[in-house]
Amino acid sequence: MLLSLELFVMLVLANGSPVVVARLFHQHGSWPLDGGRLWRDGRPLLGPSKTWRGLVSGVLTCALFALWVGLGWLFGALFAFLSLWGDMLSSFTKRRMGLASSARAVWLDQLPEALLPMVMAWYWLPLPLWEAVAVALLFALSNMLFSPLFYRLGIRKQPH
């Protein structure tokens, strides 16, 4: 059960630290991962909210936490990268659907960033499949529940 809690915390750190760092540094170092490029449909590849600063801060934070709890920095870095890659996949999909960066897409906004790293965790660690799925679903549901609160507190730019 402790392992599941640590993995949940890692999901929160991987996805939350870019938001916190963005609030602290505003536009400093906010280079978009897609370089502002457009896809063949004329829409942004990912959008301006997916930045190198966010990717680095998410991976670094998660790697340090994983090292601290004994899972190893490499596991933490890969876990965070997969989580943030899932978030980028969601953004790419939303842009193809014609949705703006701030548009809400229930489950698409939460599941890829939780499921991809949890599949890796299930493969890498002694973690039952049901537990990996439960952690991913708990993260997705808590994200939907707490995002509006973080928006009201001024931590997030969008309420979802």
* pLDDT tens sequence across 74-92: 999 999 999 999 999 999 9
How many domains would you assign to the chain? Answer: 1
Specify if 96 maps to a domain. yes
Angstrom distance (rounded) from CA 136 to CA 115: 6
Specify if 157 maps to a domain. no
Specify if 160 maps to a domain. no
**151 pLDDT band (50/70/90 cuts)?**
low
Least confident interval from 59-73, 79-93, 125-139, 146-160: 146-160
What is the pLDDT, as a whole number, of residue 131? 97
For the record, the structure tokens of 29 come out as 């170092």
Q: Identify the CA nearest to 97 among candidates 82, 108, 87.
A: 108
Specify if 158 maps to a domain. no
Specify if 58 maps to a domain. yes
What is the pLDDT, as a whole number, of residue 31? 94
Structural domain range at position 8: 2-152
